[in-house]
Amino acid sequence: MSKSKQTIPHYYLSSTVDLAAAVAWMQSVNLQRPVSSRLVASALLLKATALAAKTVPEVNGFYLDDGFRPSSSVHLGVAVALRKGGIVAPAIHNADTLSVDELMEGLRDLVGRARAGRLQRAEMADPTITVTNLGDLGVDSVFGVIYPPQVAMVGLGRVMEQPWAHNGMLGIRPVVTATLSADHRVSDGLRGARFLARLDELLQKPEEL
């Protein structure tokens, strides 16, 4: 982390995303499922992140000695806190191609094996972009430190109810704050903003994730 802050010129962006459509769709789907297979909001957020990274390749890849190498695949790193302390960030491979159910199952498997010390070396070595989600700890937003040689990290806060104006009407809607920490050698505010805008756009049509 010290090397990352010393050598990577970070820039930071954040956006508050309306999750009313995503939560309503998720609740509708879950009504038809047993408890063990119900979706959680994290799965939708991770899938949208992977698809947005595919759309904006400047946030997905590695900065090496010869410059930036974009990745044609999205191997989504997920920061996992270990029970005895410390953090690891193994990858869900080809996350953009997985269904929401497949991604959620992959997340459960990854977290379980990470905390049991049973991760494979490849899962640790090749994430192309990493997500840190501290929403379950009550954090509203998080601005992460990029894992070298990656060039971006996405932070997700808790899903919370907030006053929200929509079509001229004020109501209470579920929202989440999504943040982007990115490498200014590779991308800039315009491309970072496109990433967050695409993330928002995807979450407005959850049935298409």
Q: Which residues pair with 175 in a beta bridge?
A: 18, 160
Query: In total, how many domains does the chain have?
Result: 1
Neighbours of 9 (CB within 10 A): 10
Residue 125 belongs to what domain range?
A: 2-208
* CATH classification of the domain holding 50: 3.30.559.10
In tens, the pLDDT along 11-51 reads 999 999 999 999 999 999 999 999 989 999 999 999 999 99
- How many CA atoms, within 13 angstroms, populate the side-chain half-sphere of residue 205? 6
In tens, the pLDDT along 51-96 reads 999 999 999 999 998 899 999 999 999 998 887 778 888 999 999 9
CA 76/CA 90 separation, integer angstroms = 8
- Residue 92 · residue 98 · CB < 8 Å: yes
pTM: 0.94
| Residue 67: predicted pLDDT | 94
Exposure string of 82-119, with b = 16+ CB inside 10 Å and e = fewer, is eeeeeebbbbbbebbebebeebbebbeebeeebeeeeb
